[in-house]
Structure formats: C-alpha cells, structure tokens
C-alpha cells in the first residue's frame, strides 16, 4: 500500500507539469507522422533498374536490322541500350557510367541482307563479371538476328518460283518474330540483371516501422520527467526523510519505479491507440502480444529511469543521461531503420540492445504476421534487462542510504 501511495504521489507530480504531456504525447505523434512520410518516400519509389547499361553507337541511323536489334535489347530484362555518339559513349565507359559500348558499323543492315559479312564491335572489360555477362547477354539476340537472316535466305533459295525479295522478307519477319516469342529461353539471365524487387520491409505500411520506432524512442526520452523527481527529492531532502520512515529501501525504489512504469505504459498505450486508429498500424491483430511487449518495454524503461534518477546528481545530468540513452539505444536498436538493412557488424551489436528486442516484438506482430508465441522471447529479454537495471538501482540506492 505504501508503494502505491508513493507511486501516486510521483504520478501527480509528473501529470501536473503540462510540458511533460508535450514531450510524452504530442512530440511522439509529430515525429511518427514525419518518419512515416520519410519511409514512404523510400519504400514507394519505383523499382531500381538493374539491367546492364550498354552505350549504343549507331553508325547507320535508320537501318532496318540495327533498329530491330535495338528494340529487342530495349525489351530485354538483361540489357538497357542507351543511344550515344561514339565520343560520349567512350567517355561514359571510361567513367564507369555504362557497362559497355556496342558500335554498329555504317551500312550494317545492307551488308547483312546482301550476304556480306559485317561485324558489331563491343567495348567492355571482359575480365570483369559485368563485362563477361554483357558479352554473353548480347550473343543471344545478335545470333537470333543473324539466324533470321540466314533462314530468310534459305527459304528464298528453296522457292525459286516465288518473288525472291518478298519471300525473303516474309521468312525473315517470321523467324525474327519466332525468336522474339521465345526470347525468355534465349536471353542469358543473371541474378544481378534480373533480380526481383526486394520485399517491402515496412510490410506495405511505412508506419509499421515509424510507429513502434518512435514509440520505443520516446519511451526512453520520457525518462527525463520521471527521473527528475528523484533528483528533486534528494535536493529537497524528501528522499532522506523518506528513508527514516518504516518503508524499506526496496519499497521506496519500487514505489518510484511503479510511477515511472505507469507513466511510460500510459504513453505507450496512447501511441498504440493512435497508430491503430490513425495510421492503420494493426497492433490489435495480436492484442495480447502487443500488451506483453508494451508491459515489458515499460518495465525496462522504468528500471533504467530509476537508475538514472539515483545516479544523476542534478537535473542537467538527468537530461544528459536520458538523451544519451535515447540516442544510443535508438540508433543501435533499429528504431530508425531495420537492423537487417545495416552491415553485419552493426546488426550484431544492435541485436544486443533491449530496444532492438522491443522492435522485434512489435514487428513480429506488425510486419511478420506472427502470433503471441513470437512476443514471449522479446518480452522475456526486456524483462531480464529490467531486472538487471532494477538490481543496480537498488544497489546504488543502498549506497545513498549509507
């Protein structure tokens, strides 16, 4: 009962300060909306074109065969031809702006149709993976073009009674079209060139990252208000007088922690409701899982706030320690961006952070579509951190008493 009385006293002090409502509710909502817009810009952008870039230098503008080859390459999943003059193409190749240069010689179409050998010229670094891939990817459509010409010539020779030019043109069109209908079997495909668009890491709603991320971040930031009460009590010697009462040290610590937990949990609940109703973040898809992670998050943050309030010697140190905790745990814990999108070393360190486990618990529900079972481990890890911080706070409080 005395623990609840002490917690009620702390809560009334915190709620009387209207500025605390600004930091606990208004600012998180504004930041959530802002971050959601930022994530929306990244997740809704057009898929990246990963085709190999090929500078196209056409020495016979308007040539029939070169135009047909260009159209075929433009429609492919592997190559992206970019028309340029020769000087610009060579410059782009030298600056690695394109992966290769294909030069179409003057009179290419007429020479091929007349049966005269004509050769395309490919400039690329054949020692590189891209250069080799570019060469292999070009072999298919170029071979198709030459085969269509040969088929047309054979067809015309086999039917001498028909008009030679008409027969040859019809056979060529038929062969070229047939190659086009089967190009999925003819083109060389590689992972880099035809990699599919990666799944949306926000689960289709950018606020699935923004809402829990800002929720966790500002739960930590809320330590400023709650921890300052302990500092104020020490300055006014209220805490010292409290130690002379029948309350035991752990009860005093528990009372303050209960108040910190209550204010943090209320903040989390309000932001969950806002996310559910205003941002279409489906926390209530698994309400017990969301509640479990929210309670564990509140316990961890409250125990850490308690330790900060006991260790800090003044309000300036409370702000310093709270801000430091917020930035470290937020940056490393995946509240600003998914740890999966970071480097392996960063991700390993980040997954040790309690904030990362809070994000994992929420995103198991919001993005991965998992059930209550997926919330138990993150909640358990958060509770373990909470116990650790609480024991440190009790130990440090004993030092103050001494």
Domain spans of the chain, in order of start: 2-44+202-401, 52-194
For residue 54, how many other CB atoms are within 10 A of its CB? 24
DSSP 341: G
Q: In this structure, are residues 292 and 376 in contact, taking their beta carbons and an 8 Å threshold?
A: yes
Q: In this structure, are residues 168 and 26 in contact, taking their beta carbons and an 8 Å threshold?
A: no
Q: In this structure, are residues 52 and 134 in contact, taking their beta carbons and an 8 Å threshold?
A: yes
DSSP 83: E
Looking at residue 169, its pLDDT comes to: 58
Kind of pairing between the strands at 100-104 and 121-123: antiparallel
Question: Which two three-digit tokens encode residue 163?
Answer: 């008009």
Looking at residue 188, its pLDDT comes to: 36
| pTM, full prediction | 0.58
CA 326, distance to chain mean position in Å, is 21
Report the C-alpha gap between 58 and 85 in whole angstroms: 8
Looking at residue 184, its pLDDT comes to: 40
Looking at residue 381, its pLDDT comes to: 94
Report the C-alpha gap between 68 and 84 in whole angstroms: 17
**If 0-12 CB within 10 Å is exposed, 13-18 middle and 19+ buried, where does residue 182 land?**
exposed
Question: Which two three-digit tokens encode residue 321?
Answer: 């320690």
Spelled out in words, what is the top-level CATH class assigned to the domain 52-194?
A: alpha beta
Estimate the crossing angle of helix 354-366 against helix 315-332, to 10 degrees.
Answer: 50
Looking at residue 297, its pLDDT comes to: 93
- One pLDDT digit (tens) per residue for the chain, 402 residues: 667 776 777 667 666 766 666 667 777 888 788 877 777 655 444 445 567 888 888 887 777 777 878 887 887 777 888 898 988 988 888 888 888 898 888 887 777 777 777 778 888 876 666 677 777 778 777 777 777 666 666 666 666 555 545 555 555 565 556 555 554 443 333 333 333 344 455 667 888 888 998 899 888 877 776 677 777 777 777 666 666 666 676 677 777 778 888 888 888 899 999 989 988 899 998 999 999 999 999 999 888 888 888 888 888 888 888 888 888 888 888 888 777 666 667 778 888 899 999 999 998 888 878 888 889 999 999 999 999 998 888 888 776 654
Report the C-alpha gap between 310 and 171 in whole angstroms: 89
């Amino acid at each position: 009962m005395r623990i609840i009385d002490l917690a009620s006293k702390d809560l009334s002090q915190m709620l009387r300060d209207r500025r605390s409502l600004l930091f606990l509710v208004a600012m998180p909502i504004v930041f959530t909306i802002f971050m959601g817009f930022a994530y929306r810009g990244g997740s809704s952008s057009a898929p990246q074109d990963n085709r190999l870039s090929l500078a196209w230098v056409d020495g016979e503008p308007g040539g029939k065969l070169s135009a047909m080859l260009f159209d075929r390459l433009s429609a492919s999943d592997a190559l992206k031809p970019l028309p340029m003059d020769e000087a610009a193409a060579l410059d782009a190749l030298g600056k690695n702006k394109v992966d290769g240069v294909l030069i179409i010689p003057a009179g290419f179409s007429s020479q091929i149709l007349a049966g005269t050998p004509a050769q395309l010229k490919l400039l690329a670094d054949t020692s590189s993976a891209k250069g080799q891939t570019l060469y292999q990817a070009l072999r298919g459509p170029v071979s198709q073009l030459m085969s269509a010409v040969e088929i047309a010539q054979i067809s015309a020779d086999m039917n001498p009674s028909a008009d030679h030019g008409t027969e040859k043109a019809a056979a060529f069109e038929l062969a070229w079209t047939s190659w086009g209908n089967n190009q999925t079997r003819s083109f060389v495909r590689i992972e880099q060139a035809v990699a599919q668009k990666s799944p949306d890491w926000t689960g289709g709603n950018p606020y699935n990252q923004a809402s829990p991320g800002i929720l966790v971040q500002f739960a930590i930031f809320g330590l400023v208000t709650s921890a300052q009460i302990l500092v104020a009590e020490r300055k006014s010697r209220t805490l010292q007088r409290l130690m002379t009462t029948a309350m035991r040290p752990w009860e005093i610590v528990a009372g303050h922690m209960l108040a910190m937990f209550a204010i943090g949990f209320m903040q989390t609940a309000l932001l969950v409701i806002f996310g559910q109703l205003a941002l279409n973040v489906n926390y209530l898809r698994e309400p017990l899982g969301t509640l479990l992670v929210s309670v564990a998050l509140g316990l961890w943050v409250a125990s850490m706030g308690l330790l900060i309030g006991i260790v800090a010697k003044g309000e300036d140190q409370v702000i310093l320690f709270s801000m430091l905790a917020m930035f470290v745990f937020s940056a490393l814990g995946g509240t600003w961006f998914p740890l999966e999108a970071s480097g392996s070393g960063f991700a390993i360190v980040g997954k040790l952070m309690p904030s990362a486990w809070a994000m994992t618990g929420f995103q198991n529900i919001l993005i991965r579509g998992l059930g209550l079972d997926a919330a138990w481990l993150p909640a358990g890890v958060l509770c373990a951190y909470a116990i650790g911080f609480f024991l440190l706070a009790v130990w440090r409080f004993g030092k103050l008493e001494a």
